[in-house]
Amino acid sequence: MSPRTGRPTDNPKKHETRIRMSDEDVKILEYCCKATGKSRSDIIREGIREVYAKLKNKKQ
């Protein structure tokens, strides 16, 4: 039996970050999750990419 667990992926998530959030931030995040059907992690990753794209566009 293989020692690896989980599904194979081309984009492994090896890094972990913890954040502190207000009650209001959690409510907003939960609303986004329910409205989109995405996970908390997916919503946060999407937000990071959105901010990054805005910054990249500003530089150009």
pLDDT of residue 1: 55
pTM of the model: 0.79
pLDDT in tens, 12-44: 889 999 999 999 999 999 999 999 999 999 999
Q: Which contiguous run of DSSP H or E holds residue 56?
A: helix 40-59
For helices 40-59 and 23-36, the axis angle rounded to 10 degrees is 100
- Contact indicator for 40, 33 with CB cutoff of 8 Å: yes
